[in-house]
Amino acid sequence: MTTTAAPAAPAAEAASLTPTLRQLWHRARWFLAAAAVLLVAGLLIAGLGDSTAYPSLDPRSAAPDGTKAVAQLLRAQDITVDTTADADRLATPGGADTVVLPLPDLLTTDQLRALAAAGHRRLVLISPDSTALDLLAPGLHTAGTADLPLAVSSASAVPLCDLPEAQRAGSAELGGRLYQVDADSGATGCYPRQGYPALARTSTTQGTEVLVVGSGRFLTNQRLANDGNAALALGLLGTQPHLTWYLPDYQALPAGTAAPQKSFTDLIPDGWRWAALQLAVATVLAALWRARRLGPVVSEQLPVVVRAAETTEGRARLYHRAKARDRAAEALRRAVRHRLAPVLGVPLGGGDPDPTTLLAALGERLTGHRDPAGPRDLLYGPPPSDDAALLRLADDLDALERQVRQP
């Protein structure tokens, strides 16, 4: 049955909820403004802050492991400091200049040969390996075995040699790779650590003075002010009016690495990579297709669900946990008395019939069926002593009730 009375006729006219362009602009302009402010602020911060990360021992780096400080000191002494990442520039014939070469082993053998032939006045090698030593520093070898060169961490050491720069500087923090000096080569070893020099000087046949240090740590901004580090650095690097600081390409693989293995993607035809890319585009489109809902989810207030019998069930569990056999038995007995009284014609005075009248009526009804003491114990007896007795009592009460109803 549908009643014709419409209690709530449409209150408002139908209206489109799709925003117009003007509404979109009004709604979005503050978000757009906020996004623009964020973007500008980000660009400003990125532009102002010097976030370029230089590798260690880079004369442009002001970081603790950079060497900007020593470069500035050298410039203050009217020495021109150039940096180059181009190994070929090192091969151009030099004049009165110094070349700093960190990790010379990152250069190829040919480059090293060209460098040796270029005839620079002074060459400072920072922790070179045996290849570079063989080509650039005759009479010097790495200490320890070829597989396991001897190296220690930098620590303060005394010169113990007659190298003028070392004598001037006094003790300095040296370490890193340790070297061996051939006795008859005319090379000098200084700052010995564990018996092997951490700084060594030799010269090539072209007249280039080659200085080898095990570690460039004493040149860094962090350590330069310690000990005699600064004096040693200026002594090593500041003898010539030009200084060229080579910036090694740390990404370059050391020479002699095995040929790369072919991976799966190298083996499949080239076109399939593009097809996979196109498939990814299709996946994104499919995601967009599925993500767009046909209108928002409609929510609804749900009613609370409380079962009316919950309190009774809770009471039953309480009885059970407390082993309240007496209360349970009394409840069952009273219910049976309450049901039997009307059947037997006994008045229900205030919910519970009079015991004597009820028992008398019961005895009369059950004469011959049961001993008279049974119903009394059943209806008014002591509480059951254990769980089994309670179960028995419930069954006995049922039996009694059945007997009374159908004698």
Partner 1 sequence: MALTGRTALLAALGSLVVGLLLPSWTGIGVVGGTVLLGVLADLLLAAPVRTLQLARTGDGAVRLGEPATVTLTVGNPSGRPLRARLRDAWPPSVFRPGTELTASRRRLLVPPGERRRVDVELLPTRRGDHRAHRVTIRSLGPLGLAGRQGSHLVPWTLRALPPFTSRKHLPSRLARLRELDGRTSLLTRGQGTEFDSLREYLPGDDVRSIDWRASARRNTVAVRTWRPERDRHILIVLDTGRTSAGRVGDAPRLDAALDAALLLTALATKAGDRVDLLAHDVRPRGTVLGRSATEVLPAVTNAMALLEPALVETDLRALTAAALRLAPHRSLIVLLTGLDAGPAEDGLLPLLPQLTKRHEVVIAAVADPLLAELATGRGTLPAVYAAAAAEQTQADRRAIAERLTRLGATVLDAPPTALPPALADTYLALKAAGRL
**Which residues, numbered 150-189, are part of the site for partner 1 (CB under 8 A)?**
none
CB of 339 closer than 8 Å to CB of 346: no
Least separation in angstroms between residue 302's CB and partner 1 is 8
Least separation in angstroms between residue 25's CB and partner 1 is 16
**Which residues lie across from 155 on neighbouring strands?**
174
- When the beta carbons of 48 and 298 are compared against partner 1, the nearer one is 298
9 scored as a contact of partner 1 (CB under 8 A) = yes
265 scored as a contact of partner 1 (CB under 8 A) = no
267 scored as a contact of partner 1 (CB under 8 A) = no
CB of 178 closer than 8 Å to CB of 194: yes
Choose among 170, 203, 175, 177: nearest CA to 188.
203
Least separation in angstroms between residue 27's CB and partner 1 is 15
Least separation in angstroms between residue 323's CB and partner 1 is 9
> Which residue in 50, 78, 266, 300 binds partner 1 (CB under 8 A)?
300
> Which residue in 93, 260, 271, 368 binds partner 1 (CB under 8 A)?
271
3 scored as a contact of partner 1 (CB under 8 A) = yes
Give the DSSP H/E element, type plus range, for residue 116: helix 109-118
Q: H-type helices in 194-250, by residue range? A: 229-237
17 scored as a contact of partner 1 (CB under 8 A) = yes
Q: Is 304 helix (H, G, I), strand (E, B) or coil?
A: coil
- Three-point CA angle 358, 364, 365, nearest 5°: 90
391 scored as a contact of partner 1 (CB under 8 A) = yes
Give the DSSP H/E element, type plus range, for residue 153: strand 151-157
> Segment contacting partner 1 (CB under 8 A): 15-23, 183-191, 198-206, 219-227?
15-23
Which residue matches tokens 């996004």? Answer: 35
Say how far residue 338 (Cα) sits from the centre of its chain: 73
* Count of all residues that appear for the chain in the document: 407
> Which residue in 38, 275, 343, 373 binds partner 1 (CB under 8 A)?
275
- When the beta carbons of 162 and 270 are compared against partner 1, the nearer one is 270
> Which residue in 78, 162, 184, 310 binds partner 1 (CB under 8 A)?
310
Choose among 276, 247, 246: nearest CA to 120.
246
Who contacts 370 (Cβ-Cβ below 8 Å, separation ≥6)? 403
Q: Please give the span between the terminal C-alpha atoms of the chain, in angstroms, as a whole number.
A: 52
- When the beta carbons of 43 and 348 are compared against partner 1, the nearer one is 348
CB of 82 closer than 8 Å to CB of 107: no
Least separation in angstroms between residue 312's CB and partner 1 is 5
Q: Is 196 helix (H, G, I), strand (E, B) or coil?
A: strand
Q: How many residues bind partner 1 (CB under 8 A)?
A: 73
- When the beta carbons of 267 and 288 are compared against partner 1, the nearer one is 288
User: Rounded CA gap, 322 and 383, in Å?
Assistant: 15
Query: Hey, which residues between 313 and 352 contact partner 1 (CB under 8 A)?
Result: 313, 315-317, 319-320, 327-329, 331-332, 334-335, 338, 350-351
- When the beta carbons of 262 and 321 are compared against partner 1, the nearer one is 321
- When the beta carbons of 273 and 369 are compared against partner 1, the nearer one is 273
- When the beta carbons of 377 and 395 are compared against partner 1, the nearer one is 395
50 scored as a contact of partner 1 (CB under 8 A) = no
Q: Residue type for 110, please?
A: D
- When the beta carbons of 250 and 272 are compared against partner 1, the nearer one is 272
CB of 56 closer than 8 Å to CB of 66: yes
User: Rounded CA gap, 191 and 150, in Å?
Assistant: 15
> Segment contacting partner 1 (CB under 8 A): 1-9, 47-55, 213-221, 251-259?
1-9
